[in-house]
Structure 1
Amino acid sequence: MKTLHMLIISIFLATSLMAESYVLESPDGKLQVKVEISDNIRFSVNHEQTEVIALSPISMTLSDGSVWGQKPKLKSKKTQRINRIIGSTLYKKREIPDVYNELMLNFKGNYSVIFRAYDQGVAYRFAASEKDSIWIQNEEVNLQFSHDYPMIVPYVRKENPKTFEEQFFNSFENTYSHLKLSELDKKRLMFLPLVVELDDGKKLCITEANLESYPGLYLNKGENLSLRGVFAPYPKHVKQGGHNMLQGLVTERENYIAKCKGSRNFPWRVFAVSTNDKELPDNDLVYLLAESSRVKDTSWIKPGKVAWEWWNDWNLYGVDFKSGINNPTYKYYIDFASKQGIEYVILDEGWAVNKQADLLQVIPEINIRELINYGKSRNVGIILWAGYWAVDRDMENVFKTYSDMGVKGFKVDFMDRDDQAMVDFYYRCAETAAKYGLMIDFHGAYKPTGLHRTYPNVINFEGVHGLEQLKWSPSSVDMVTYDVTMPYIRMLAGPLDYTQGAMRNATKENYRPINSEPMSQGTRCRQLAEYVIFESPLNMLCDSPSNYLREPECTRFIADIPTVWDRTFALDGKIGKYIVMARQKNDVWYVGGLTNWEKREVTVDLSFLDKGYYEVELFSDGVNADRAARDYKRDIFSLSGNQKLSVTLMPGGGFAAKIKKK
């Protein structure tokens, strides 16, 4: 048995009189955080023999001129080890081990720095214990590296920007750029999460957690081989504008980034470390570092799937009415959802009077109460889309009114900022929605930072370069490669509303953007597999009921698949190449895989199954899927839990399997 100091934390004083040094180890002893206190506070991270982050300074500058971390004077330190299990019925796992070692350093000046070391990575944050309110002028995040590592980064989608200010207004959606540290564009901001490719195949994924009442962190190329943090200053003046007058446009900002209570914890800076790529989709750090649920009773929160009309442009055929934004169309969607066992139908943009930013002004073609009652009689709930400005200006009244009618939730869109004022909106929206029994799906949103644990009624987030992009993107946009990159990076932060499920599928050569009859890149089985690979508690069916009804086998597979899970883990994969994942709900397993544009043979080791015999329903790419991407085959067969499953994935392809014990 390990000695107490080895089990909990290894701390030592450096022999130099100029600095104090402390070392915090992960429970398995493989990760080490070294903290040096001299004229400033610096930390470094190592994984066994691999340097993850070189010594890097951290500090916070207050508007009164004081700097936490400059000439720090340590008052006391405290260590603890935590080993517990967190339960959740609304996550990718029913039980999440929460095992870490912690070091809290308390300094004169009423501030602390807290470090945690998990086997999955490390994190730190500042904490304040002032009596009065404080204004944070800036926070120093200055990550140093000793090598010119390759990186996989999402830039803010703004070509040739002249200022950071113009990049603070963005939807947090972009494909990834593969660049070395030295090749980063100093004029461009990168949003989180992003990945640094270390030596020995190891990866560092950088993000943040517990972002509450504070601006989100961007990274930018620093001096030499470093990444520096950038924060949007607090908005001084905001005017209504943007898309259909539903956005808040910042016209002037303050000279500080946050105004805060004097006693508070600041966001966690999170550094997930993997020894192989498949560990990244399994990482739970963001969820673990979030605040516990503030919603006492979560039994009313019902994840599920949604029949969605916006992507397919309300494009029905074989019906005897004019399809569009009207009650007959939505009743048809409700009938489809009811027959398939799909829990919800969404009314996306268009049901409220345009450019009024007033959610109580409904167009004459829509009778929401009638649709709610129609859906209720068929066991289908209604979710309403809403623009940010319309929600924020009348939140309490809107949520109460529609909750009383029986609406189940809102898809809130076009926030497109993550300054402190906007982050506050997220929490206010989540809290008010919970008060009225409403779920929230945030679109035009920054990455998840654990809000879905604190307010489990926040059931999903966008912040992903999702399938909607293929309504307008040219063929130069490579969604297939994005699909096998994003699960290792963006999905580490939390769930995503990618909105998969396309029944029109295209090879690389045949893809083209069409707004009213859009298609996916890659094969039909790729779309099915994405319901297994992508974490999404509120999961859209993006295509038209008319198309789904012509594809009953695929539709049944999608309609049956759960959206929250008892167990989840990646079986195999490599960033940008391919991924294979397994998920379990009750006694049923789902296994899915995606490849890039390379044809690939995948062998799935099924040793995770209990002993016995199983029935497998397998959807795999057809032999001609490299020419006709919709080509697939469905096989049903038996196998034992100690066997392996071999599948051929065509270029842009995938596979999806449902496995039940016989």
Structure 2
Amino acid sequence: MNKQFYLTLFLCLFGCLVQAQTLKSPNGDFTLEVELREGRPYYKLDYKGKAVIKPSGMGFELKDQADMMDGFEILNEETSSNDDSWEPLWGEYKEIQNKYNELLLTLGQQGEEDRKLHIRFRLFDDGLGFRYEFPKQENLNYFIITEEHTEFHLAGDHKAFWIPGDYDTNEYFYTTSKLSEVDGKMEKATHTVHAQHPIETLAVQTPLMLKSDNGLYINIHEAALINYPAMQLNLDPSDFKLSSHLVPDAVGNKGYLQTEALTPWRTVIVSDKATDILASTLILNLNEPTAYEDVSWIKPVKYIGMWWELFVPQGKTWAYSDATNLKLEDDFSQLEPSGRHGATNENVKMYLDFAAEHGFDAVLVEGWNIGWEDWFGEWKEDVFDFVTPYPDFDVEEMQQYAESKGVRLMMHHETSGSVSNYERRLDRAFQFMQDHGYNSVKTGYVGKIIPRGEHHDGQWMVNHYIHVARRAADYGIMINSHEAVRPTGLHRTFPNWLAQESARGTEFEAMGGLTPEHTTILPFTRMMGGPMDYTPGIFQTDLSYYDENSDGRVNTTLVKQLAYYVTIYSPLQMAADLPSNYERFLDAFQFIKDVALDWDETHFLEAEPGDYVTIARKAKGKDEWFIGSVTDENEREATVDFSFLPQGRTFTATIYADGDDASYDENPQSYTITEMEVTSETTLTQKVARGGGLAISVK
């Protein structure tokens, strides 16, 4: 080898070293390295000396323009630090610390393109967030993204808790497997779900939860999803490499941007403790504070509803009649009623009476408005008008009755996926709500999206959900969205967007059931992005109670349903069962009445994804604590360490526990209620049944 070779090698190595940048987290546990390789940006992430993300590429493919994949050089770098705190309007904590170190790289593509790209990295004590920023510039103004190429090159064949990649639904069962096993399990995992659109490549959805063989817990998701499609993850199982896969629109493009523009943050949360993953506030911190000037009207809501009886065997129906082929302009008062309609004046009054007696804020009523006869699966444009009631539901009478009881009615807007129709009617629908005393609405997006060809998780729909939240705020209305894109912490920016479903929730217990482990996985996956309206509180779990020919079952014990009010966080919580079932178990129902909706503190006591979760929370502004513990299909002992209580004081704990003979499949309604005195020195060990739970109130 000659001197010229060594000189070339030295210059190459020296150039690579010059281009490499390093950033540490405030506590020093994380090390981020960023470098250019042949002009393409790469990043890698270590935690306590262990590899989390191996060198992973970044960049974009653009339509009808040169790609922004390589040819870059570093034009500038800026580092900074932040350490402050903020108070959520509502949430799991009274105050959240926002502490990070930041690296902002300015990259330039020279030559004919002469374009700039910023990549902003924020390294917290619980993980990494980074996003792309396209500054305003002469050679890049309007542009179309055909794909984002952000990689997450994992360090091994981790255990993964995943659902299949899909453009339109996240209502799948979770599968637990090694990354190398995902391909072999994908066909079974992609079971039939309404309006699904599975991705043709091998892909999974975020939030993705992983556990490495060397004891690291890793969560990959995104934050602040605005004006951009949701990110799915392609999987290369041979190399354990994940790469971004954006949801396309009707013509196959991914995103339409105009500089100045930002992408959502890509997030990697890591710890050697599972409880630290649940405690992370990284995603919230990466979202912007709200711009609302008045937030006094936004309040947590505990509600019941004319809902579960629409799902149980021999239950009620949304539709007023059995007629078909109807149009909105038809005279629905001339239809022959089926006799099974649920949203009648008489039935809703019963719910309002129950809500008033037991201190609930609101009553949800589904199926009150015309159109339900023809709503499902027809890809029909004008299904609902959101203002015209059925003949047996008197809006004015129900408003007056609710006001006399001190209870609100909660509106329901099912769009049937006809989003263009909903947007045309949105202001009229919100004005109707305001005129009739409604201040909250459950929105639904069941079905294929209209405009036809758009997807639930594409850029157009992402912008729609935000538009609804913003417009609702103009009318003083709070939003609970179902079948929407999974959350990314936007409830900080739009605090009237209280909750979402965006996962397989309780209604599926009446449509094939859920596995007992499902709700031990949700806190590590779907709920990393925000609160979930899971609709808990089902006491009558054996559905043959309604029809002896039914073999349906809610796969929990009664006490596990109580525990959900703590383990599945939401400021909007439903007691979902029929009032008549609660009247049979009033002593257990007391926990649902007592449990808070808003919190000063949250303590994650023990957790393992897919196995168990135990959480304690302190009620906002009160010396009251509530504890929930849930397990999978295996019996276990929950350990509750009360060290979170103030020292030197004694409290009374009311313990709702599975009975000795309880199990989710044989004796789900067996429970005990006991009291004991507790202090900060107390540790309680309590048996939890198969598919069971534990709920404790401390006062």
Which TM-score bucket, shorter chain as reference?
A: 0.7 to 0.9
Supply the distance in 1 between the matched residues of 2:537 and 2:270 (Cα, whole angstroms): 32
1:374 aligned counterpart, secondary structure:
helix
**Contact 2:311–2:510 (8 Å) recurs in 1:** no
Residue in 2 aligned with 1:290?
287
Deviation at 1:377, TM superposition (A): 2.0
The 5 Å alignment of 1:269-308 reads: 269-308=266-305
Amino acid of the structure 2 residue aligned with 1:61:
E
Q: Counterparts of 1:206 and 1:568 in 2: how far apart (Å)?
A: 22
Tell me the residue number matched to 1:408: 439
Q: CA deviation at 1:512?
A: 11
Deviates more, 1:16-25 or 1:264-273: 16-25
Q: Is the 8 A contact 1:202 1:273 kept in 2?
A: yes
Partners of 2:478 and 2:90 in 1: how far apart?
Answer: 12
Structure 1: 5+ residue runs without aligned partners? Answer: 1-12, 157-166, 236-252
Q: Answer yes or no: is the 8 Å Cα contact 2:303–2:572 preserved in 1.
A: yes
| Aligned-pair CA distance for 1:648 | 1.1
Counterpart pick for 1:134 among 127, 143, 146: 143
Other-structure match for 2:159: 150
Pick closer, same or farther for the CA change 1:97–1:652 going to 2, 3 Å. same
Q: Which has the larger displacement, 67-76 or 607-616?
A: 67-76
Alpha-carbon distance change, 314 to 142 in structure 1, aligned in 2, over 3 angstroms: closer
User: Is contact 1:314–1:329 with CA below 8 Å preserved after alignment?
Assistant: no
Preserved CA contact (<8 Å) 1:312 1:542? no
Give CA deviations for 1:253-301 in whole Å, capped at 9, x if unaligned.
24x2111221022100011112111112211121111121122211101
- Equivalent of residue 229 in structure 2, options 185, 192, 215: 215
Deviations 1:336-377 (A, max 9, x none): 111111111111245333242211222111122322222122
Tell me how far apart the structure 2 counterparts of residues 14 and 593 of structure 1 sit (CA, whole Å). 56
Matches within 5 A, 1:238-637: 253-254=251-252, 256-313=253-310, 324-354=342-372, 355=375, 356-388=383-415, 389=418, 390-414=421-445, 417-473=456-512, 477-478=514-515, 480-505=516-541, 519-585=553-619, 586-611=622-647, 612-626=649-663, 627-637=666-676
Name the counterpart of 2:217. 203
**Matched residues in 2 for 1:62 and 1:342: separation?**
52
1:505, distance to aligned residue in structure 2 (A):
3.0
Which residue in the other structure is 2:193 paired with? Answer: none
1:29 aligns with 2:28: yes
> Structure 1 residues 532 and 285, CA, compared in 2 at 3 Å: closer, same or farther?
same
The letter for the 2-side match of 1:527 is Q
Residue range with higher mean Cα deviation, 412-421 or 645-654 = 412-421
Matched residues in 1 for 2:398 and 2:550: separation?
24
Gap change, CA 1:352 and 1:314, over 3 Å in 2: farther
Cα distance in 1 between the residues matched to 2:300 and 2:231: 29
Residue 244 of structure 2: aligned partner: 229
* Cα distance in structure 1, aligned partners of 2:435 and 2:126: 44
Give the 3 Å change call, closer, same or farther, for CA 26–513 of structure 1 in structure 2: farther
Shift of 1:516: 9.4
Would the aligned equivalents of 1:115 and 1:122 in 2 still touch at CA under 8 Å? yes
Asked if the contact 1:89/1:565 (under 8 Å) is kept, the reply is no
Cα distance in structure 2, aligned partners of 1:473 and 1:224:
36
Letter in 1 for 2:554: S
**SS at 2:22 equivalent:** strand
Paired residue type of 2:220: I
Secondary structure of 1:521's counterpart equals: coil
Distance 1:293 1:379, change over 3 A: same
1: distance between equivalents of 2:263 and 2:219? 20
Q: Counterparts of 1:579 and 1:314 in 2: how far apart (Å)?
A: 28
Quote how far apart the aligned CAs of 1:395 are.
Answer: 1.1
Shift of 1:494: 1.1
Hey, what's the Cα distance between the residues in 1 that align with 2:551 and 2:84?
A: 50
Between structure 1 and structure 2, the one with the greater Rg is: 2
Query: Could you tell me how far apart the structure 1 residues matched to 2:548 and 2:121 are?
Result: 50
- Give the letter for the 1:408 counterpart: N
Q: Matched residues in 2 for 1:107 and 1:656: separation?
A: 53
2-side partners of 1:468 and 1:188: how far apart?
28
Paired with 2:12 and 2:669, the residues of 1 have a C-alpha distance of 64
**Post-superposition shift, 1:624?**
1.8
Distance in 2 (CA, whole Å) between partners of 1:635 and 1:490 is 33
**2:121 maps to 1:121:** no
* Alpha carbons of structure 1 residues 512 and 196: separation in structure 2 relative to 1, 3 Å: farther
| Corresponding residue number in structure 2 for 1:241 | none
For 1:68, what is the secondary structure of its paired residue? coil
Moved more, 120-129 or 306-315: 306-315
TM-score, with length taken from structure 1 = 0.88
Check conservation: 1:314, 1:325, Cα contact below 8 A.
no
Q: Distance in 1 between matches of 2:404 and 2:553?
A: 33
* Greater displacement, 216-225 / 546-555: 216-225
SS at match of 2:591: helix
1:271 alignment partner AA: V
| Aligned counterparts of 2:462 and 2:342: Cα–Cα separation in 1 | 35
Q: 1:309-352 CA deviation, whole Å, 9 max, x = no partner?
A: 222229899xxx98722111111111111111111111124533
Which stretch of structure 1 is more off in the superposition, 115-124 or 377-386? 377-386
CA distance in 2, matches of 1:411, 1:551: 28
Flag the 1:400–1:366 CA change in 2: closer, same or farther, 3 A: same
Structure 1 stretch displaced more, 306-315 or 13-22: 13-22
SS in 1 for 2:491: helix
Report the Cα distance in structure 1 between the residues aligned to 2:245 and 2:431, rounded to whole angstroms.
Answer: 38
SS at match of 1:429: helix
Cα distance, 1:84 vs structure 2? 0.7
CA distance in 2, matches of 1:204, 1:494: 18
CA drift at 1:51: 0.6
1:641 maps to 2:680 = yes
Cα distance in 2, alignment partners of residues 487 and 34 from structure 1:
30
Query: Aligned equivalents of 2:343 and 2:523: distance in 1?
Result: 34
- Are 1:104 and 2:104 an aligned pair? yes
Any idea what SS the aligned residue of 1:623 has? coil
Note if contact 2:103-2:122 (Cα within 8 Å) is conserved in structure 1: yes
| Secondary structure in 1 matching 2:214 | helix
Cα distance between partner residues in 2 of 1:34 and 1:513:
61
Q: Output the aligned Cα RMSD.
A: 2.4
* Distance of 1:78 and 1:283 partners within structure 2: 26
- When you count strand as a share of all residues, which structure comes out higher? 1
Alignment length (residue pairs): 611
Q: Identity over the aligned pairs, expressed in percent?
A: 28
- Shift of the alpha carbon at 1:217? 0.4
Structure-2 change in CA distance of 1:314 and 1:491 (3 Å): closer
Whether contact under 8 Å (2:311, 2:507) holds in the other structure is no
Residues 349 and 386, structure 1, Cα contact 8 Å, conserved in 2: no
Aligned partners of 2:547 and 2:509: how far apart in 1? 6
Does 2:56 align with 1:17?
no
Q: Deviations over 1:239-261 (max 9, x none)?
A: xxxxxxxxxxxxxx24x211122
Equivalent-residue separation in structure 1 for 2:55 and 2:389 (angstroms): 57
In structure 2, C-alpha distance between the alignment counterparts of 1:513 and 1:587, rounded to whole Å:
44
Contact 2:83–2:99, Cα closer than 8 Å, also in 1: yes
